Amino acid sequence: MINPLDLTERRIMVTGASSGIGRAAAVLLSQLGASLVLVGRSAERLDATLAQLSGDVHFVRPCDFSGFERIPEWMKEGSGIYGPLNACVNCAGIQETKPLQFLSFELLERLLRIDLMAAFAVSKGFRQRGVSTHPASVVHISSVAGVVGLPGQSAYGAAKAGVAHMTRALAVELAGEGIRLNCVAPGWVEDTEMTRLAESRTPAGAVAEFRRLHPLGTGKPVDVAHAAAFLVSDMSRWVTGTTLVVDGGYTAQ
């Protein structure tokens, strides 16, 4: 029997692979047989992820996505090192909770550069000749903050909503090239640096209430990784342009 989740002989780039959801995705995809290209800012932290992977044909390529303009060229260079990619799971991003009265345009621009513009650049780089195979799949990590309105999340939510809409439009545009694009929109995911930072900057009562609003409880990085694995595998070969909400029922209410 053929296992549609088998990723043997697939080469997959995972951005934001140095921690959290990105690290969990990389570990899971390697367990499913994939060869990984690990991307993040810190080579040391990527090496820590590398040590947790199954298999031994993996690559580490540090990159700071705040300089998004160079990403397509950087991806083209990478294809000469490890060959064309079968998929990309783009987990790189930052999160800030800022009420409008305290939101600076500098922070707004930083959020848009790293969370939205870099996602555009990854998509643009992926479709270049020689960078990806055909068929191929791209998964961007969005957020429930891009689906519903949350206090202090206007900038972050706008960036993540932009990622979801970009994904829908590019899914239609690139379907003829055999490239599928989808999003995963997580709710509150425990045990990530981004969540711990958000928790430290949010009143304890507000955090507890947000957790309470997840009927199935809060998630773990591997819950999001499972969704990403589905979307890069043959099991989702007829799925493109969608945002898969993985939030324990938070947005169902």
On the question of a cis peptide bond just before residue 84, with omega within 30 degrees of 0, the verdict is no
Q: Identify whether the C-beta of residue 3 lies closer than 8 Å to the C-beta of residue 234.
A: no
Where in the sequence numbering do the catalytic residues fall? 156
Instruction: Please report which residue ranges of the chain form alpha helices under DSSP H.
Output: 20-31, 43-50, 71-82, 105-111, 118-126, 154-174, 193-200, 204-212, 221-232
DSSP 75-142: HHHHHHHH--EEEEEE---------GGG--HHHHHHHIIIIIIHHHHHHHHHTSTTTEEEEEEEEEE-
**Whats the size of the chain, residue-wise?**
253
Burial of 218 (0-12, 13-18, 19+ CB in 10 A): buried
Contacts of 109 (CB under 8 A, 6+ apart): none
Q: Is 2 helix (H, G, I), strand (E, B) or coil?
A: coil
One-letter amino acid at 195 equals T
Q: Rounded distance, CA 17 to CA 37, Å?
A: 9
Q: Is 205 helix (H, G, I), strand (E, B) or coil?
A: helix
